[in-house]
Structure 1
Amino acid sequence: MVKGYIKFLHFILVFVFFSFFSGNIQAQCAGDDGELPVCDIPNPANKTINLYAALGGTPIPGGTWSDDDESGGLDANTGVLNAHLIRQSRIYRYTYTVTGAAGCADNSAVVTVTIGGYSGVASNSTQCSATINFNLFEAFNGLFLGPQYNGQWYDNTNNKKVDPVINISEFDGDYEFTYTMPAIGTCPAVSSTAVITVVKAPKSGTAVNLSLCASDGLSAYKNFDLNNLLTGQDPGGTWRDGNRISTGELTFAGDRFVDIEKIYDRFGEGYYYFAYKVLSSKPICLDEERVTFIKLENKLDFTGATVTVNNDICETEIGTASYSVTIKKGTAPIPNGPYNVTFRVSGPNAKTEIVTANFNNGILVFPIDSNYFQQVGTFNVNIISIYKTNSVRICANIMGNLSDDLIIYPLPDLENAKIAPATTCQNEGTLIQISDAIKLADGIYDLTYNLAGANQASGQIARVTFTGGNASFTLSPNLSFNAGNAVLTITNITHVVSQCSSTANVIGNILINPLPNTAAVRMQINNVCFEKPVSVSMSGLGILTDITLSYTVTNNNNAIPLTVTLPVSGGTTSFILPATAVSNPGSYTVSILKLTNNENGCGATLSNLSYAFLINAIPAAPNAVSQPFCKVDNATVASLQPYGAQYKWYASETATTPLPATDVLQTGNYYVKETSSAGCTSEATMISVTINDPAAPELNSEGSGFCGLDNPTIADLYNRTNSPASVVWYDAQTNGNVLSSTTPLVENGRYYGFDFSNQTNCISEKSIEVVVSLTNCDAPETLFIPDGFSPNGDGVNDAFVIPDIDFLYPDYILEIFNRYGSRMYKGFKNKPGWDGLNYEAGGISSGIAANGVYFYVLHFNKDNKPPRQGRLYLNR
């Protein structure tokens, strides 16, 4: 029924439309604009608002709707608006458009809808402060239509506007928030209030991780408080060891102290984790645990490490070369593993880079971009730092100078180079000098050259050093074997270090002069004494006029090289060897090494021209000391020491005629020299000769008279001189015997006294002669005269002797008579006593006196004392 009515109405409208246009009548096909307030948003009726019904006039049905302000609540196909879907309170426009209808003055109309505010249905909420950010819209009851979002939240607790999302991390307790949608049009403002209960979450704090360089020492961390690894934590929490293998440092509940030095000693470098846990007071909040760590690192020591950048190239290889850097550790170990290497490359494209590469068995290799090396030059790759990839860089690794140069060498170029004309001698090296190689960098090069002309060779190699475009090298002597002209051509040059090579064409001329003829050269040297000139005579020099000799003077395997320039006349010359070359006595050999003709500078080597000679040593000045002599010894030059055929004594240092050995020595200076078997004489040694002669002793006033009765001896004679302690007595003037002090003095004995000096050990030349008298006695009042004797040869009383008569009366005469008055014996001093023989009748032993009585007469002959007579008895 309704469908039929709509079709009928549609027919009428179409009919009117066509009638209007056919009759040129204008109409508003979309109707008039309309307005519609919607305030009670949650009303279910506001889910299906017919906007078509809000149009004024007589709109033609079947048009289309558009949501001009994108409210999101319009069904464009039906024109039905669902206010529940619109999330923002404001004024929205919706346009109805009719198309294809003739005669319409306006084919669109707008319905303006005011959507009132809706603050939703609030619901209280409990949150944990650990949520941190809480969206207040979560505090609405989900069973009801949610609020629009363009309202304003207000914190009733703190009296301030707030955004929908608030930070509740520091909240603790109940907080009231009101959400208000402002009035719009005829729709009033609406509000909803929610109470948010925030439970304070446990705080385990913020981690303050600790990184230490163990290589710098950990003694300050033997009792480390783990609480220092946190900030802002709640008290009362507990620590636990969070490592896969426990450090064993936390030994009881509530323990928070660890010995970091011990941890390192046991486990080495690495991360060591410890967790701090705080329990929650209400289930809404979870327990909170914070994990911290202690990072222990070792200092890496790259002392002695090397860096190599591979490889230097020639400029022609720039486009194809690739490069790598190799780092080799020094003496200290470097653990295997990944490392971050910071390096800088110099040059036009200089840059600092960080790469990650692995150390493996002390070697790390990483590639380096070839874009750094795009032209000729030297590029330095400097390693700035090396750290493990997981390092916190708490240790300052010991780096040293880790760098290497990569060189891109230019091709060597000898363009414009010149070879100076060279002059040389046969069989000698030829100095080749190259200049003006202005395009050639300084360095060492190998030159390939050919030789043509008097001497020929090809493909020869010479290594040279170019500096400032100049270089030189010497041709081998075998390339100047023939005298004449030769041409040298350099055909190639190679840089030794880089082996970069290029062709060349540099030409030079060489003149080779002939050598002097030395076949007849001879040498003569005479032996000499040390410090005398050594003359070397040379002969057989032919037509040479000006020469230089190179020679050695050899002694004890020490060869001194010398040179001398000499004029030559008639094929001979001579020269004196320098004193420094023959500075010691010994055997020498002069060897002529080379003879050079100074006219062309060419010299010939003489391999067997040598001459041996002697430099005879000058004897050292003889060892001699000053010598004393006694004058009595009549010492001569022959007495001086040293003495021998090699020693000669002189009157002065400069004298050349030695003194005769028989010359008697005098007090003064004498000079001795030694002459060797080679005729070399030493310097003179001077000595002082002293001739010592003590004065002869003198007899004192007591004279030489003694009394024989006192039994005087030589000792008594000592005491009669002026030098009793040093006088020596002899029994003869010359060649006498020394008399001991106990030698008895004899009457009329001659004694010779000499004085002896203990200081000089000399006896005087002159002496004192003493003739001793033993008769200097005082005559006694009585004289004992024996009254008999028995000359029977038994050795007892065999002679008649008056004791001491010789000393008391030295001029006495003793006469013996028999009873007949005949004299039997006449005695006196120095004549033996009477032995019982008759000396008067017929001479000695002319008769033997018979036993019996005999008579004597003693003539004193002194002091006018009268003779004395007496008798004696002879009994055999």
Structure 2
Amino acid sequence: MVKNYANFLQYLLFFIFLTVFSPKIYSQCAGTDGAVTICDVEDISNRSVSLFSYLGGSPVPGGTWSGDDSSRGLSTSTGILNAQAIRAGGTYQYTYTAPAATGCATNTAKVLVTIGAFEGYPAPYATKCSDENTYNLFSAFNSTVISPHTNGIWRDNSGTIVNSVISITNMNGNYQYSYTVPPVLGCDTAPLTTTITLTVIRAPQSGTASDLTLCGTTDLNGYTALDLTTRLSGQDPNGSWSGIGITSPSNPVINLKQIFAVYGPGTYIYNYRVLSDNNNCPDKTTPIIITLEKRLDFTGAKIEVEKDICENEIRTATYSATITQGLEAIPDAEYWVTFNVSGPNGGTETIRASFVNGKLTFPIDSSYFRQVGIFNVTITNIAAVNSKGACRNIINNLNTNLQIHTLPYLDGAVLTPEPTCQNKNALVQLTNALRLADGNYNIRYNVTGSNTALGQTANITVAGGASSFIIPAGLNVNSGISSITITNITNTVTGCTNTATIRGDLIINPLPNTSQLSVAVNDYCLKSPVTATISGLGTLTDVTVSYMLQDSNLSTLETAVLTVSNGKADFIIPADLLLNTGSTIISLINLKNNITSCDIDLTNVIDTFTINPIPVKPTVSPLSFCKVDEAAVANLVPNGNQYKWYSSETAAEPLAVTVILESGNYYVRETSAAGCTSEPALVVVTVNDSQAPVLNSDGQNFCGLTSPTIADLSNNTNISSTVVWYDAPENGNLLSASTPLTEQGKYYGFNFPASGCFSSEYIEVTVALTDCDDVPHDFFIPDGFSPNGDGVNDSFVIKDIEFLYPNYTLEIYNRYGNGMYKGDNNKPAWDGMNYEKSGIAGGVAPNGVYFYVLHFNKDNKPPKQGRLYLNR
């Protein structure tokens, strides 16, 4: 509605004037700007306000409208505005854009719309129940008329500003709230306020329940007089109770032990009901759920897994386990069964299965059993599917083993028949059968070659991959080579069988030929290994010789097993048979071919040799050296060509004279003209060394402000009085105590005690001069410098800051804020040249005032700003 009629007449006369007298009116296609004021926005006529009618001039119809203030209610095609859709009083601008036309200088015009404030009409009643928790105060307005503007403020009865949505949970009674919207210039002279009354009815409180789950078998001794009110909180008094075991609606005490005894396990619901005394609030009921469960006892139960298999059945085998109840009957029902399978592919799994007539069968995934071995299946828990787990069922040692037996493999095994004589049993050794488990096996073998016999059988016992069996003498009639081939092997316990193809050659030889046999022994020193050489063994390869000693040394019959090469074999005569010096005779008594097990007695196969005495071991004394002198074996005494030095009593090779000595035991022997060597004499050699210095914790850290020296570095070691310092670990220069320390300088410390040896080890120390936490952090920042090249004050530098704040950065700007220089510990001095792109010709900073920003970058210390003067 137009409130100012005079303004309207002025707009109308102005429009007529322009129409009659202006020759340019047709150049303004959108018309001229207009305005309208709508104070009584609640009037229903203001739901349809034509903005086009408020344009001045002669606007061309058919254009489009836009709301410049994003207000609601505008039809952009018709220009019809629903003023009641606007949420707040105030002035809003709308723009009309005329359709494109030739000769239009202006194709847009604006209409200003002023909307008066509206505080709304409260509804007659606002009554709520407190259990609705929240209430929107705008709900108290009459919904049949226009809603109040939303830019107002709510206040409670005390004048405190509140949100439009309030909590009513703890309210009870009548409450007043006022709603105030701000005035609009041209319509209102003061804020508009309306008041609502909210009545809140307190809802009955039946409380919050705490449910209870118990094991009826073990947990009910303390629940013979359970007061159900202890399972509620926040309830109103004088409510009524219902449920099994409730003796009256006013008596909340129940006996759970008796209930369990009478009714057994189950879920019991007890309701507490509180009546409402007002129709606005309903009655309230809170249920308390008590679950009583029974513990199951699987004592004496058994489990069987079906079935043990052989290795070749792994890919196709399936498995199942059956649990049979023990002393206690298990109710028929569905159960969760948790079991564990051991082994490399083992794991824990829970499956769902049913007990029927005291038995429960469940499958076990074959993926657990993918290799040979013994797998333990252990039941860790059984619980009814509908159980809440209040009871821990009794399960003791409910487990069993499933075994996957390996096939008997002879892969890589070696079949070695021992040579025999004609018509004698032959022992065949089976070795390297590493894939055969210890146990009993039946084998089937063939004999081919010099003798033939197919399909022969034998029983063997394997231990540690080895066994043996006998080829009967009746199969070794002909001399020569018989091939023994095992074709099949079966484990007599598991029944697992496998094919085989291992073969070995059995040699059946005649008696050995001894026509050219002889023995020879050289002269030896006492206690030295004495070697006897037997020749004339022909084609024999493996023999056992029996012999005796006579003369200076006597023995009973001795034997030696020999390997023959090119008709010869050597063996060592045991040292305990040669305890005397002088002449000794050796006589060969018997020769046995170990391959054929054939032997022959010998006569007149002898030799004579001499055992020479050994010198007395040398007389020696302990020796000591300094490690840095690098003393060698050549420095040991006694010395001379007849003496040899060794690293141990049993060492065979003497030490070279150039070997550098270490602390320890050394042994010296003397050699006679006959080449006999004495017993070793022990010489204890001590190679002394001073302990290298040890740097104290953080001993490398100094403050450069204190001008530390080598003496200070020495004081930071455990041997300050005897440590000496060099500038290199080898061929370095000795540094005096007054030598100043440098940042990141490397120093090498040795121990040089007044009495003793110079240390062979050293410490390397890299010095840091930034540990200035224990000194005042003060320094001088110059306020100017003169970079004129006279050698005095030619650069701007902050002395000693690198020790206090090693990570500092310095920025310098001219008075226009242009960067001139950025510096740090590696670039500490500004020489008055511009290093930033500030546009200064030639990069030379002119005389004048500059500004610096110093970033300490330590201990969260804030940057420092200041000014300096440059004067060339």
> Under a length normalisation based on structure 1, what TM-score does the superposition of the two structures give?
0.46
Give the TM-score taking structure 2 as reference length.
Answer: 0.46
